[in-house]
């Protein structure tokens, strides 16, 4: 299972929106970086089994090139450490520090200005997640 962060695996017009989002994040000095874009069905099922996602293979916009995840960039923001696989590493998903909370909020505002859907508005908060509005319709229309 390997993580894909290739923007070219995204479908238009979402690909262009993500390129614009990356430009805006950089211009505004918002310390986030692209973490994942397209996801294979195999990877989706592994994430589902580990309870990383609620969507099964084929049911995620990641599987169709209409979603991306961003994380806090440890090179640009001070992050708390967390244990991962026996090591202490910066928590790129932090929601405890004021600077992290502010960063996620600015990210969400940019996403919504681009008329995309932000996972931070969902009842089961998925702050890193951004997806194309009505991605199911676009997928069904063969976009």
pLDDT tens column, 49-96: 999 899 999 999 999 999 999 999 999 999 999 998 899 999 999 999
Residue 68's Cα: distance from chain center in Å? 4
Burial, 68: exposed, middle or buried (Cβ in 10 Å; 0-12, 13-18, 19+)?
Answer: buried
Round the CA-based radius of gyration of the chain to a whole number and report it: 15
Check: CB of residue 6 under 8 Å from CB of residue 38. yes
Could you please report the per-residue DSSP string of 66-106?
-EEEEEE-TTTS---EEEETTEEEE-TT--SSHHHHHHHHH
Condensed to tens digits (0 to 9), the pLDDT of residues 92-133 reads 999 999 999 999 999 999 999 999 999 999 999 999 999 999
Read off the pLDDT of residues 12-57 as tens digits, 9 standing for 90 and up: 999 999 999 999 999 999 999 999 999 999 999 999 999 989 999 9
Q: pTM for the whole thing?
A: 0.93
Mean pLDDT of the chain: 94
């Amino acid at each position: 299972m390997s993580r894909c962060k290739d923007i070219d695996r995204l479908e238009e017009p979402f690909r262009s929106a993500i390129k614009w989002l990356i430009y805006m994040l950089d211009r505004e000095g918002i310390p986030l970086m692209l973490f994942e874009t397209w996801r294979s069905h195999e990877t989706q099922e592994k994430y589902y089994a580990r309870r990383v996602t609620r969507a099964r293979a084929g049911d995620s916009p990641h599987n169709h090139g209409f979603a991306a995840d961003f994380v806090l960039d440890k090179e640009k923001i001070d992050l708390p450490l967390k244990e991962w696989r026996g090591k202490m590493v910066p928590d790129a998903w932090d929601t405890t520090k004021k600077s992290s909370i502010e960063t996620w909020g600015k990210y969400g505002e940019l996403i919504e200005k681009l008329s995309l859907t932000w996972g931070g508005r969902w009842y089961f908060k998925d702050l890193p997640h951004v997806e194309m509005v009505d991605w199911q319709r676009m997928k069904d229309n063969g976009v």
